[in-house]
Amino acid sequence: MHPSCLVLLLCAACNASRATGGRAFTPWRVRSRSAPPPAACKLRGGGGGGATMPQVVEIEGVGAEPAADEDDGVFFEEFAFRGKELRIKQNTIKGHAHVLWDAARVLAGYLDVCPISWEGKKVLDLGSGVGLTGLCVASAGAIVTMTELPGHTRTLQANCELNMAATPDRWTVRDAVWGVVGDVTAWGQVTDLGYEWDYILGADLIYSDDSTPHLIQTLLHSCRGKTEFIMSFELRRKKDLEFLQGLAQLGFAFRKLAPAELHPHWQAEEIGVFVMHRK
């Protein structure tokens, strides 16, 4: 699809999301693990996705992980992926990297139903957060490197050990700073994540105007040859679409997946899933 056509399509979706009261970009605090998802999200998940959706309310934005008792803010969600059961720990006290975002649920749903055999595939998971998408494909046989900002990998590591202790050869957790390899950014020394990947995954990576240009540089470095980049994100602002326009100008081809290609339960109008590669 031509980038200008896609921008018009996504702007319409963004406006529709805003009209339904789309929430601000802040982590969630769980109130009830058995309640339905927030109305503004319109996720179709539930019985088919294997997870119990929490009811949530918004909390103020967070930065670095605050000090907290080990069990403060902790809860779990269960997911089914290609016959495997995953239990995902989250912590609402520790910040945005320690809770699960809807775009990750939608992406995991697609990875479940898509016609990809994950066995033996080399996968880089960017901005892994609590690790749902990376753990899903690792449980199906992929060799996955899961990444998060330095100082924010504790819950990710815990989930890997909880779900994949018997197969430690399938997963690695790494600190990762996006940008031009060799540079130093506000987040630290940029990480060389390599480029011999079959797939790169990412959910809700373009939430910050400051970090998005650095993400593009990481993709230019790591997404080469036949590597396919599969990402999802929630349409919050028209400015988010500049990310797609920028990738197109840098030689990436992409398409937005149709609802029929996604998991029948794990999808929402305001969350897009995109498949990209370098031309």
pTM of the model: 0.79
How far is residue 212's CA from residue 216's CA, in Å, rounded to a whole number? 6
**Which stretch of 83-87, 118-122, 230-234, 237-241 has the lowest confidence by average pLDDT?**
237-241
- Residue whose C-alpha is closest to residue 53's, from 231, 266, 260, 233: 266
- For range 160-181, the mean pLDDT: 98
- For residue 58, the model assigns a pLDDT of 31
Residue 36 has pLDDT above 90, yes or no: no
Q: How far apart are the first and last CA of the chain?
A: 14
- For residue 152, the model assigns a pLDDT of 95
Residue 19 has pLDDT above 80, yes or no: no
- What is the CA 102 to chain-centroid distance, rounded? 9
Q: Which fold has domain 3-278?
A: Rossmann fold (3.40.50)
Of the two residues 81 and 23, the one the predictor is more confident about is: 81
Under a CB-based contact definition with an 8 Å cutoff, are residues 29 and 59 in contact? yes
How far is residue 163's CA from residue 175's CA, in Å, rounded to a whole number? 20
How far is residue 137's CA from residue 128's CA, in Å, rounded to a whole number? 13
Residue 39 has pLDDT above 50, yes or no: no
Residue 146 has pLDDT above 80, yes or no: yes
Residue 56 has pLDDT above 90, yes or no: no
- For residue 261, the model assigns a pLDDT of 97
Share of the chain above pLDDT 90, in %: 68
| Domain parsing of the chain, residue ranges | 3-278
Residue 272 has pLDDT above 60, yes or no: yes
Q: How confident is the model at residue 72 (pLDDT cuts 50, 70, 90)?
A: confident
How far is residue 16's CA from residue 248's CA, in Å, rounded to a whole number? 25
Q: How confident is the model at residue 44 (pLDDT cuts 50, 70, 90)?
A: low
- Beta-strand pair 143-148/171-175: parallel
- For residue 69, the model assigns a pLDDT of 52
- For residue 66, the model assigns a pLDDT of 46
Q: Which helix (H) or strand (E) holds 123?
A: strand 122-126
**Which stretch of 10-24, 59-73, 199-213 has the lowest confidence by average pLDDT?**
10-24
Summary mean pLDDT of the chain: 81
Under a CB-based contact definition with an 8 Å cutoff, are residues 174 and 191 in contact? yes
How far is residue 126's CA from residue 266's CA, in Å, rounded to a whole number? 21
Residue 27 has pLDDT above 70, yes or no: no
- Cα 50 to Cα 27, 41, 78, 87, 90: the distances in Å are 22, 18, 6, 10, 17
Q: How confident is the model at residue 128 (pLDDT cuts 50, 70, 90)?
A: very high
- For range 117-140, the mean pLDDT: 98
Under a CB-based contact definition with an 8 Å cutoff, are residues 3 and 244 in contact? yes
- For residue 28, the model assigns a pLDDT of 29
How far is residue 224's CA from residue 178's CA, in Å, rounded to a whole number? 16
- For residue 40, the model assigns a pLDDT of 35
